């Protein structure tokens, strides 16, 4: 059994978003996907993201306000959201005080 602590000291920043990619764990091809944790600070609105990978996100804490094609949907802690390949998205944190923390798995579509 291996544990992976959500250890932000090793986190890289993309704008105000903290990103901890799982490549650092050197798991090789044990996982059939790539993975990361990321945090969006209270009030944060990162730039729109769009990539060929399908992405499944699990909200760990806070609420993700996900914007796709101008439509907004809230995803609370304990819930998940799935983005298709090349589905442009923005993950906002509209809270004034609670950081948003997300676990994401992403992979190229088959």
- Write out the residues near a copy of itself by the rule CB under 8 A: 1-6, 27, 29-33, 37, 54, 56, 58, 60-61, 66, 68, 73, 75, 77-84, 87, 89, 101, 103, 105, 107, 109-110
Closer by beta carbon to a copy of itself, 12 or else 74: 74
Closer by beta carbon to a copy of itself, 1 or else 13: 1
Closest CA relative to residue 49, chosen from 1, 3, 14:
14
Closer by beta carbon to a copy of itself, 35 or else 44: 35
- Cβ at position 10, least distance to a copy of itself in Å: 13
Handedness of CA 54, 9, 101, 58 (dihedral sign): positive
Q: In this structure, what token pair is assigned to residue 91?
A: 């993950």
Residue 34's beta-bridge partner residues?
Answer: 106
Residues 6+ away with beta carbon under 8 Å from 110: none
- Cβ at position 61, least distance to a copy of itself in Å: 7
Q: What angle do CA 74, 78, 82 make, to 5 degrees?
A: 60
- Cβ at position 51, least distance to a copy of itself in Å: 14
Closer by beta carbon to a copy of itself, 44 or else 100: 100
User: For residue 28, what is the DSSP state?
Assistant: T
């Amino acid at each position: 059994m291996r544990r992976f602590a959500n250890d932000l000291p090793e986190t890289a920043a993309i704008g105000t978003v903290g990103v901890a990619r799982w490549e650092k764990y050197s798991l090789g091809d044990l996982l059939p996907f790539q993975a990361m944790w990321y945090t969006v600070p209270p009030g944060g609105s990162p730039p729109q993201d769009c990539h060929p990978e399908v992405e499944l996100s699990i909200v760990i804490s806070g609420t993700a306000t996900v914007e796709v094609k101008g439509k907004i949907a809230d995803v609370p802690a304990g819930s998940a959201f799935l983005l298709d390949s090349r589905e442009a998205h923005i993950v906002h944190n509209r809270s004034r005080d609670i950081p948003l923390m997300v676990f994401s798995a992403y992979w190229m579509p088959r």
